[in-house]
Structure 1
Amino acid sequence: MQLINNVTFNYRYSNISLVIFNQCSFKIILLPKDPLLRLGERQQLVCSVQDCPVKPTLFWSSLEDRPLSALSSSNQTHSVLTLDPVGREHEGSLLCSVTCGAERRQMTTSVRVYSFPSAPVISGQDQLKLGVESALTCQVPDLYPTAHLNLSWFRGDTILMSGTSGPVEYKFTPQKQDSGGSITCRATLEIEKLPAQNTTRETTVLLNVLSPPTNTSLSVSPGEEVVEGQKVTFTCSSDGAPAPKLLVKRGEKVVRVHEDGSPLTFSIRSATLEDSASYLCEASNKHGSQAVSSVVTVRGQFAPISAKPLVSAERGSALTLTCRASGCRHSLTLLWRKMDRNQTVLQRTQQQDAQSELRLQELDLQDQGGYSCEAECDSVTRTTDIHVQVYSFPSDPVLEDPGPVLLGQKATFHCNVTNVFTDHQLRVRWLRRNQALMSETFSFSGSLAVTFSLKLVINSNSFLFFFADPPRMMSLSMNPGEEVLEGQRVTFTCRADGAPPPTLVIKRNGEELHVNSSTSTSLLTFDISSVGLEDSAQYECEAFNQYGNQSEVELVSNFVILPSSVVQEGQNVTVCCQTVSYPPSAVTLKKMTNGTVLSSSNGTFLLVNVTASDSGLYQVNVTNDLGYQIKVFSISVRGQLAGQTSGKWLTLCIYPTSALLLEYVRRSRKKGFYQLPQSAPPSTCG
């Protein structure tokens, strides 16, 4: 027996038999194994190959009678099929075909899709009528597949009915006790291997049983017969759904209207003979109406009390309020109240002369407002109101200095009037050179210091002010561009306008590089005479003066070091690849036109006595256990110039990024420790 090129030959003396077999059998892995995908999402299927000694070929296809509407991408060992978004057309069997050398294999998977985007929707709960058979409908919009849907109706923990697919209708006759209760529709999508959190959703709604107004009532307190001057309170109420609109009429005139669903209550503080009438409480909604009435009779008593209704006085002065009552045959009680939230009692007297005085000393703002004088004779009460106005205007207005204002922008001027108060209107006029700019009228109720504002757009003809402007119209540019050759000269230019001219600063990674020495110019430049890799950074221009600052313009510069691409025939070329990575990387140089591959332990490759055949694209590949990076460059070999000798060395350097090292450090920090990867021995089959 002899092994030659992975083929085993068995020799026998009597006869010869040839047995050929593959030493290694490759495997196909499809992930996920049993795909269940949600409609509308972006999902990926991965077909990978293991133990294939050569570069395999992978291909996706559909076993259904329709084209495969998905995007596939492959690398050396696996192919990714992207469904973006997942649609119903992706449901069915998919086939991944793999060719490894001369051998071809296939693997199928069955894709299932579903959609359960929202909770069930219940309709009809706002159309329930008392005593009339009604129906509630439950359905789940955009659900798929509907054949696996189960819908159930619940009241509390009691199941009312169930159905499949949907919509499911529940019929019943609403009663009054059903109003305000709740009902639940629960939807369950019964699909194998569907995550539990995506299986069941439910919706609960409150039942609103509609009915016309009922139990309408009108109550009168203290009763339907009252004495002149007594307080009379009316309360109108009714039940119904929706809540009925309530109104109270006196004769044919509407006295009060109420639409918020609560009882309507109003009072007559002191009944008069004219308040004797028939009062009607009417309740109505779109399903009906109901009304009740009550007749109120007012009997006469003593004459009304008298007082001056409006009194004005200056702040700090004294004021005496007087009210009189007549016609009471018995002892008369006079009561003064402040008409505030608490109806504070200020003074109570019991006398025969039917006159009472309330003295207010050193009037102030809190003394302003309404006062009431109540006269009570037996059980009859009469009331009159007095309104006290307090005013104050002790000094002239003060115009504030506006300070510097900005040219072309709005400026606000303030006029202050202190310790002023009046319930009357106060007029303010703005004047410039006896010309009226603006006139306003104000009313006040509680402020003792008032500021009036005037806004103007300032131009060169308006006022003699110092004009100022914060930094604006900033720009930061770089010449020749954001990608330059090593050793080139780079110039940064920072510009900004402002008044006064702003100070300009150029920073690199937050550290100050250069500041303009004079603020008379709005331009700042900074040069790097010979740029290097260490100059790749974030550059920022900042401008500021005493009226503001701006530093929004940023420039991220990545200086790329490019090798020379033109060499002379006969020269010796050194290609060096410098990288920072851990674990250490293996470096290869590949000629793209003929596939020639060179390896190097230190990243240096020698091309001796180059000729025109060495022209073309070259690929440098840097690889370690964490991944790889590729850099492609070109070499153009020109004919040797007359009189030029060969053998001259030229060095080209390639600088890949250090992402491999950074990724390794990132992983180690994330875990809290790291372990150097061990190189696995090459796999063999036998």
Structure 2
Amino acid sequence: MPKKMVTILGALTVLWILFAASQAFKLDISPQDKTIAHIGDYLSLTCNTTGCESPSFSWRTQIDSPLHGKPRTEGSKSVLIMDAVSFDNEHSYLCTATCGSEKRERGIQVDVYSFPKDPEVQLSGHLEVGKPVMVKCLVPDVYPSDRLEVELFKGDHLLTTQMFLEAMEKKSLVTKSLEVTFTPSTEDIGKDLVCRARLYTDSETKERETVKKLQVYTSPRNTVISVYPSRRLQEGDTVRMTCSSEGLPAPEIFWSKKLDNGNQQPLSGNATLTLVAMRMEDSGIYVCEGVNLIGREKAEAELIVQEKPFTVDISPGPWVSAKIGDLVILKCVVDGCDSPTFSWRTQTDSSPNGEVRSEGAQSVLIIQYASFEDEHTYLVAVTCAGRKLEKRIHVEVYSFPKDPEIEMSGPLVHGRPVTVNCTVPDVYPFNHLEIELLKGETTLMNKRFGEEMSMKSLETKSLETTFIPTTEDTGKDLVCWAKLHSGELESEPKQRQSTQTLYVNAAPREITISVSPSPVVEEGSPVNLTCSSDGFPAPKILWSRQLNNGEMQPLSEDTVLTLMSAKMEDSGIYVCEGMSQLGTSKKSVELTIQVSPKDIQLTAFPSESVKEGDTVIISCTCGNVPETWIILKKKAKTGDMVLKSIDGAYTILKAQLQDAGVYECESKTEVGSQLRSLTLDVKGRENNKDYFSPELLALYCASSLIIPAIGMIIYFARKANMKGSYSLVEAQKSKV
């Protein structure tokens, strides 16, 4: 038992030693080792102990100088508080903690700095293109200044840089500056001027910068004055002067006028100076000055205002064309004279026939009814303050009251000459008259009546021509165009015209007949015969049929003749006749009505079964009346062989075994076709060369006479019943 207790006590002793070791007395300080603070800022240093319930603390500098701070202890923690950091706080501080007989000490280095403001950029003056300027960059209240670097940029270009490495005699806030001189150009406008300052400390680099936008100025230049309408003016005129000047900033414009005493009279601060109702005393030198922050530039313009002479204007103009019987008013207006006097007369120095009315600066000559006697050159004399001006105006009278009259010698007929007369009545002066006669766009005749007039009177003039009308003239306009040229100063002659549309009569011609569906049709089909004819007036249509005796059978007066169901007997010649009072025109067409082939017969004579060496006639007949094409063929595996037949008959002399086979007959017309076939059998003879029968000889002789006779009978029979034809369009064909 005692031994066991000893073991337990030993274990407890070891645990106590370990616990005591874990709770040993320790001291920590924060921030650790080193810190930096801005002059004027708040700073606190903290000491913490562990392993002691009631430690005691003391603070001191390494050189035993005043703390310049307030220590505050609470339990196991002590804080040294510096409310406003100053140069006096730049020390190594030591914190000492005592716990019983044990003492612990920790130190911390406190550095101070000052970098309170952004740099200041200063210019020696306005930036003017081409003039050097000094730029200064100031960094105020900096400490420690021996660790300061300053850079000066213009845009991306480094102008200068400096590292202030000189030793400080004492601790103090200093202002450092960097200067550089450069010459601005227009390319510098809008660029940034950057002053960048860096303060290097042991723990970090502090940086501040200031950016200033460059405003480059140019002195006013190229100052120009423009004057409208002119620098030489007359009294009462208005003048507008515009001044422009280049520069940065844009120059302000100031107008003034030089006075006789050498001073200048200010006028306006606008770019445009407008002077109205100019007087002679407004003559002089006008000055435009462009002004901005950098400088000023002047430009001058001299205006000369002259006395305005009075002017005389006569209307309607120097030349007047008046219609006989119309009212004519001649007006004279004076400008530049308040009380002029007027005198009217003719060029022959006679008094005018009209009434003169003068009032103020105008005078009017009124002619109530213009006549031949009023055709003169009139002069008006104007007197103003001893000065005299004279104006003239020529008055011509004319008569051109009606449009031309067109007359023709008779109706227009295709190919028949006709005379056209164009008359212009009551014209004056007729020697200025021109008449032109046009058909469509073609001039038929043109005449200008230039003969001298024996006396002033109204005359009637005419133009006559003959032409041959054609149907192509129908719808064209016949135009009589009259022009009265009234004087040398007239831009356009007076014109009148009459128009008559031409309608040319023509006998029926160019008859056209169309048959639908065709001139050859199958019996029972409908047929339309259409007739048209050119002519003016439109011809009347008459359809007739030509009978066998040559007489004409009237059928219809419509343009279309319709057979609803054509029959064989409708075949024949049909005549279309176009008729008018100017003549008649005819055209005919033949209509053929056909039926499909029928009653076709295909026979072999003497039989469809013969012996080798016999003569065989294969005959094809058709009972139709219309033209029929007969085609005989022998069928074969390699292709059908067309046989050369005569009137539908094919003769095989001395039939051979290879002549046996199927024979086919095709009967065709334009409206249809029909087929028939037969099989010919050729048998071989017994092989006996010496055999000769008198009966066979007699039969052979008789056959040689009978067969041609039968062929002739068949031929004439066919001729009596039908008409046949033979075509080689596709192959050899027999015509029956």
Q: Please state which band the TM-score falls in when normalised by the shorter chain.
A: 0.3 to 0.5
Larger Rg: 2
The alignment's TM-score, normalised by the length of structure 1, stands at 0.37
The alignment's TM-score, normalised by the length of structure 2, stands at 0.35
Q: Greater helix share, 1 or 2?
A: 2
